[in-house]
Amino acid sequence: EVQLVESGGGLVQPGGSLRLSCAASGFIFSNYNMNWARQAPGKGLEWVSYISNTGSTTNYADSVKGRFTISRDNAKNSLYLQMNTLRDEDTAVYYCARDDYSSGWSKFDPWGQGTLVTVSS
Amino acid sequence: DIQMTQSPSSLFASVGDRVTITCRASHNINNFLNWYQQRPGKAPKVLVYAASNLQSGVPSRFSGSGSGTDFTLTISSLQPEDFATYYCQQSYSTLSSFGGGTKVEIK
């Protein structure tokens, strides 16, 4: 079964740092590009970051550029999101999602269950 | 960056109704458009990819259409399990983006 499991969320003070992890199983992780997306409480989905299958290419939403860093360890089947200089507005459930190109078209499938990050003093 | 605009932001409908949700892209994205369903407390799941292709396992009452900048998700006969929030997403760029969502509520 293809599965993504996020961890590392929690309560952090403004200006603090947190590192999220996403453990992948059930597929060849190194063959797939990966993404992080987030959802603030009661709000819609926001794409956060992208990383290519080799890790050579990364992209970020303007809202997190310069503060967040996406990375991966293909030997460990793991995706990461290092979040620095956190702000109140970064409070959200963070999801990792596989970029599934099996049909020849990119779509986010599957998604993990999400991990909650709360930025508050 | 490509902005995605969905309408309406919410709607009320009854079981058996035909429901249509629209999504507009700020730039031509050809048919690089996906639709997702999200139920409360759950992760999103893909319904339609490449504008009009039904994801495996998704009921045939769901359909997508459009190309360029204007897209539509249609539910032909709303079922109780379809009350949820729906999002469009452009996959034209690796800098992806989502629409604001459409919440389908029970009338």
Per-position pLDDT tens, chain A of length 121? 999 999 999 999 999 999 999 999 999 999 999 999 999 999 999 999 999 999 999 999 999 999 999 999 999 999 999 999 999 999 999 999 999 998 889 999 999 999 999 999 9
The pLDDT score that the predictor gives to residue A103 is 87
Does residue B84 register a pLDDT over 90?
yes
Task: Identify the CA nearest to A103 among candidates B91, B87, B27.
Answer: B91
Q: What are the backbone dihedrals phi and psi of residue B13, each rounded to the nearest 5 degrees, phi first? A: -150, 165
The pLDDT score that the predictor gives to residue B50 is 97
B82: helix, strand or coil: helix
Comparing A104 with B58, the larger pLDDT belongs to B58
The pLDDT score that the predictor gives to residue A63 is 98
Torsion angle of C-alpha atoms B76, B77, B79, B84, degrees rounded to 10: 40
Question: B44: cis peptide before it, omega within 30°?
Answer: no
CB A70 within 8 A of CB A60: yes
The pLDDT score that the predictor gives to residue A68 is 98
The pLDDT score that the predictor gives to residue A102 is 85
Q: Taking residues B30-59, what's their average pLDDT? A: 97
Closest Cβ opposite residue B87 in set A44, A105, A114: A44
The pLDDT score that the predictor gives to residue A42 is 96
Query: How many whole angstroms separate alpha carbon B13 and alpha carbon B15?
Result: 7
Does residue B52 register a pLDDT over 90?
yes
Comparing B106 with B71, the larger pLDDT belongs to B71
Nearest CA in chain B to A115: B43
Q: What are the backbone dihedrals phi and psi of residue B10, each rounded to the nearest 5 degrees, phi first? A: -155, 160
B98, A45: Cβ pair inside 8 Å?
yes
Size of interface A-B (CB pairs under 8 A): 66
The pLDDT score that the predictor gives to residue B2 is 97
Torsion angle of C-alpha atoms A41, B46, B12, B42, degrees rounded to 10: -40
Among B residues 15-54, those touching chain A with beta carbons less than 8 Å apart:
32, 34, 36, 38, 43-46, 49-50, 53
Q: Taking residues B47-65, what's their average pLDDT? A: 98
A110, B32: Cβ pair inside 8 Å?
no
Task: Identify the CA nearest to A37 among candidates A81, A77, A3, A1.
Answer: A81
Query: How many whole angstroms separate alpha carbon A37 and alpha carbon A46?
Result: 6
The pLDDT score that the predictor gives to residue A20 is 98
Q: Is A50 on the interface with B (CB under 8 A)?
A: yes
Q: Taking residues B11-35, what's their average pLDDT? A: 97
